[in-house]
Amino acid sequence: MSKLSYEVKLAAFEGPLDLLLHLINRDQVNIYDIPIAKITAQYLDYLQQMQNLDMEIASEFLVMAATLVAIKARMLLPRTPKNISAGEEEGPDPREELVLRLLEYQKFKEVADYLKGQERQVGKVYTRHNSAEMYQHLFKPRDPLGGISIDKLLNSLQQVLKKAGAQLSVPEEITRGEISLPDKMRQVMAKLIFYPMGMPFEKLFDGSNSRSEIVVTFLAVLELLKLGQIKASQQENFGEITLLPGMPRQSEGA
């Protein structure tokens, strides 16, 4: 007939302070007023169970046991008043140092428990690899020319220059500062106000008699197209190019 056997498992503690804190919390004891005799008995009983189970007891547990016994002995001795005439209470409490150590350990334990909780939460989060290349196909680059090639704009410019009696092959000396690009950009925008349905590209150059002014006007159109302040359209191949007011592009960080 086989003998019945059972195992007694004790909770693992990280050190003697961890065990003491467990005993205090279990019995709902005021940590500032530890019943040292009761806690010492419970602590020694725990060590006795560890010995009965042939568990190796760390030296720090034995040191704490000796400390508790020493505190218990000091608690039994009468304490001498510091100054009877001043009405001071008896000398320092033998438990004071132990209480301070327990309070400090409790703070570290709470922080450690919080960090472990955060680690568990992070462990529940699964991420996938991300890269800019994965999403580039979703964002097509903005075309400031609206599908109209630069060659078509240059051809239109050439027609304007021919009408003005200029030739591309004959360069003209341009006086620096004579025509301001920002000023010309403002002039182009002012003209477009009167054409909400679109202004023919060639009509933009009406009144421009010099090659330099025509070139600067063309550069102003390109810059406004780049900024998104105007847009160009062409209804059919070889048809007339029309300029319309556009939405200005927001600057980065706006």
220 Cβ neighbours under 8 A, 6+ residues apart:
181, 184, 185, 187, 188
CA distance to 22, 57, 234, 251, per residue, from 50 (Å): 16, 7, 91, 71
Looking at residue 8, what is its pLDDT? 39
Structural domain includes residue 84: no
Q: Specify the pLDDT at position 146.
A: 60
Within a domain: 11: no
Q: Let me know whether 103 and 162 are in one domain.
A: no
Q: At 180, is the secondary structure helix, strand, or coil? A: coil
Percentage of the chain beyond pLDDT 90 is 11
Closest CA relative to residue 244, chosen from 232, 234, 228 = 232
What does the pLDDT read at residue 252?
42
The reported pTM is: 0.42
Q: What are phi and psi of 208, to 5 degrees?
A: -90, 110
- What local confidence, expressed as pLDDT, does residue 100 receive? 92
103/179 same-domain check: no
Residue 107 scores a pLDDT above 50: yes
Whether residues 166 and 97 share a domain: the answer is: no
Number of H helices, E strands in the chain: 7, 3
| Structure confidence by residue, pLDDT tens digits, 197-247 | 888 888 888 877 678 888 888 888 888 888 888 888 877 776 788 888 876
Predicted pLDDT of residue 79: 65
- Pair type for strands 241-245 and 230-234: antiparallel
Co-location of 23 and 107 in the same domain: yes
- Regarding whether 165 and 99 lie in a shared domain, the answer is no
pLDDT value, residue 102: 92
Q: So what's the pLDDT on residue 2?
A: 44
In a domain, 85, yes or no: no
* Res. 70: pLDDT tops 80: yes
Q: Are residue 113 and residue 166 in the same domain, yes or no?
A: no
The confidence band for 156, taking pLDDT boundaries of 50, 70 and 90, is confident
Residue predicted with more confidence, 10 or 110: 110
**Whole-number mean pLDDT of the chain?**
77
Residue 136 in domain: no
Q: Judge whether residue 169 has pLDDT over 50.
A: no
The enclosing domain of 204 has a CATH number of: 1.10.10.580
Residue with the bigger pLDDT between 252 and 192: it is 192
Q: How confident is the model over 140-160, as a mean pLDDT?
A: 71
Structure confidence at residue 11 (pLDDT):
59
CA pair distance 29, 32, nearest whole angstrom:
9
Structural domain includes residue 189: yes
For residue 249, give every residue at least 6 positions away whose Cβ sits within 8 Å of its Cβ, in sequence order, or none.
142, 227, 228
Same domain, 165 and 95: no
CA distances from 202 to 83, 152, 208 (A): 108, 12, 11
Nearest to 23 by CA among 44, 49, 7: 44
Residue range of the domain that includes 50: 16-78+91-119
Which strands sit side by side in the sheet containing 241-245, from one edge to the other? 199-200, 241-245, 230-234
Q: Nearest CA to 182 among 139, 120, 231, 224? A: 224
Reply yes or no on whether the pLDDT at 4 is more than 60.
no
Evaluate if residue 74 carries a pLDDT over 50: yes
Q: pLDDT for 22-60, tens place per residue? A: 999 898 888 888 899 999 999 999 888 888 776 677 788
| Whole-Å CA distances, 120 to 12, 127, 137 | 21, 15, 36
Question: Residue 62 above 70 pLDDT?
Answer: yes
